[in-house]
C-alpha cells in the first residue's frame, strides 16, 4: 500500500461491532463505536444536531452538541478514517463497507415478488448473512428500534428463502433456513410452517409432524393458543386414520401460500 492510500475499511454491526482496516480489526473506544454505528446505520449524511440528540438524548441541546464536539475531537485515527466530519454533518466514508447494509439489500432481493433468488442469493452464505442479530447487547433506544426492524426483515427473508430452496429441490438448505427462523423466534407460526413444508417436500413426514407437535405444545404452554390453519393444515393428512384415508400429497410452497391468501 502506498503512503497516500487509505486501507480498505469495513464496519460490521451484525453479531457485534467490529471496525476493520486493511482486513485487520481495529480497537476503538466505546464512544467511537457508537458514533460509527449510528452513522453507518443511517446510511447517509447525518446532521450534527440529529447525531447529538440521538446519542445524548438526556442532555439539553447545547450540552449534547458540546458532547458531540468532544467525542469527535477524541476520535482515534481509525475513527477519523471511517468518518467524514463536516461542519454541519457527519457521514461514513464512501470507502467503508457495512455488513448490515449488504444484508438488508440481500433480504429485500429475496423478498422481491418480481424476482427469484439465484446464485449468491440462493446459498448457504445467504442464510448465514440473515442469521445474525444487529448489535446484540446494545440497549440504546436507537439500537433497539433498528435491531427489531432487522429482526423482522431477516425472519421474513429466511422464510421466503426456505421456500425458494424447496422450489429448487435443495431440501437441506431449506431446512437450515427455516430452522434458523424458528430458533430466532420460537413462537413464530410462519417460520414453523416453512420448516414443515421443507420436511414434507423432502418426504420426511415424521419430521414434519414432530415439528408441528413441538410447536403445538410450546404455543399452548406459553400463550394458551392453538396453531392456526396456516400450519395445522400442512399436517392434517398425517393425523388421518391408520388406513391412510384422507392422506394426500403436501402442497408446494407456492400453492400453500395461494390457499392461505384466498382465506384472507
- Whether residue 166 is predicted with pLDDT greater than 70 in this model: the reply is yes
Q: What is the pLDDT of residues 191-241, one digit of tens each?
A: 999 999 999 999 999 999 999 999 999 999 999 999 999 999 999 988 654
Q: How confident is the model at residue 46 (pLDDT cuts 50, 70, 90)?
A: very high
Q: What is the pLDDT of residue 6?
A: 54
Q: How confident is the model at residue 8 (pLDDT cuts 50, 70, 90)?
A: confident
Residue 137: closest CA among 147, 129, 128, 126: 147
Q: How confident is the model at residue 246 (pLDDT cuts 50, 70, 90)?
A: very low
Q: What is the pLDDT of residues 75-96, one digit of tens each?
A: 999 899 999 999 999 999 998 9
Does the reported pTM lie above 0.95?
no
Q: How confident is the model at residue 247 (pLDDT cuts 50, 70, 90)?
A: very low
Least confident of 18-22, 77-81, 241-245: 241-245
Q: How confident is the model at residue 115 (pLDDT cuts 50, 70, 90)?
A: confident
Q: What is the pLDDT of residue 254?
A: 56
Select the more confidently predicted residue: 43 or 262: 43
Q: What is the pLDDT of residue 117?
A: 82
The whole-angstrom separation of Cα 206 and Cα 238 is: 9
Q: What is the pLDDT of residue 256?
A: 53
Mean pLDDT of the region 135-164: 97
Burial 58-92 (b: 16+ CB within 10 A, else e): eeeeeebbeebeebbeebeebbebbbbeeeebbbb
Q: What is the pLDDT of residue 106?
A: 96
Q: What is the pLDDT of residues 171-188, one digit of tens each?
A: 999 999 999 999 999 999
119: left (phi over 0), alpha (psi -120 to 50) or beta: left
Share of the chain above pLDDT 90, in %: 80
To the nearest whole number, what is the mean pLDDT of the chain? 89
Rounded (10°) angle between helices 141-167 and 30-42: 50
Q: How confident is the model at residue 243 (pLDDT cuts 50, 70, 90)?
A: very low
Answer for the pair 215, 192: CB distance below 8 angstroms, yes or no: yes
**What are the strands, taking DSSP E only, across 134-192?**
none
Q: Give CA separation, 1 vs 4, 7, 77, 181, in Å.
A: 8, 8, 17, 42
Residue 72: closest CA among 31, 19, 11: 31
Q: What is the pLDDT of residue 206?
A: 95
Interacting residues of 155 by C-beta distance below 8 A, sequence separation 6+: 181, 184, 185, 188, 191
Q: What is the pLDDT of residue 244?
A: 43
The whole-angstrom separation of Cα 14 and Cα 177 is: 17
Amino acid at each position: 500500500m502506498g503512503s497516500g492510500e487509505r486501507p480498505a475499511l469495513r464496519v460490521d454491526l451484525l453479531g457485534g461491532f467490529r471496525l476493520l482496516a486493511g482486513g485487520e480489526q481495529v480497537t476503538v473506544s466505546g464512544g467511537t463505536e457508537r458514533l460509527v454505528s449510528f452513522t453507518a446505520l443511517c446510511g447517509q449524511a447525518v446532521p450534527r444536531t440529529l447525531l447529538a440528540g440521538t446519542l445524548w438524548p438526556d442532555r439539553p441541546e447545547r450540552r449534547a452538541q458540546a458532547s458531540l464536539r468532544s467525542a469527535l475531537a477524541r476520535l482515534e485515527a481509525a475513527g477519523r478514517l471511517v468518518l467524514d466530519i463536516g461542519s454541519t454533518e457527519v457521514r461514513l466514508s464512501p470507502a467503508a463497507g457495512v455488513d448490515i447494509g449488504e444484508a438488508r439489500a440481500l433480504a429485500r432481493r429475496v423478498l422481491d415478488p418480481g424476482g427469484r433468488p439465484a446464485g449468491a442469493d440462493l446459498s448457504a452464505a445467504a442464510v448465514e448473512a440473515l442469521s445474525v442479530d444487529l448489535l446484540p447487547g446494545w440497549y440504546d433506544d436507537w439500537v433497539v428500534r433498528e435491531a427489531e426492524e432487522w429482526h423482522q426483515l431477516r425472519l421474513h427473508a429466511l422464510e421466503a428463502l426456505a421456500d425458494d430452496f424447496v422450489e429448487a429441490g435443495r431440501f437441506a438448505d431449506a431446512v437450515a433456513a427455516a430452522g434458523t427462523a424458528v430458533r430466532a423466534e420460537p413462537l413464530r407460526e410462519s417460520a414453523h410452517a416453512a420448516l414443515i413444508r421443507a420436511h414434507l417436500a423432502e418426504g420426511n413426514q415424521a419430521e414434519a409432524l414432530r415439528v408441528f407437535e413441538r410447536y403445538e405444545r410450546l404455543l399452548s404452554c406459553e400463550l394458551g393458543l392453538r396453531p392456526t390453519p396456516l400450519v395445522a393444515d400442512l399436517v392434517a393428512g398425517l393425523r388421518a386414520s391408520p388406513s391412510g384415508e384422507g392422506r394426500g400429497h403436501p402442497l408446494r410452497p407456492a400453492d400453500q401460500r395461494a390457499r392461505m391468501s384466498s382465506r384472507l
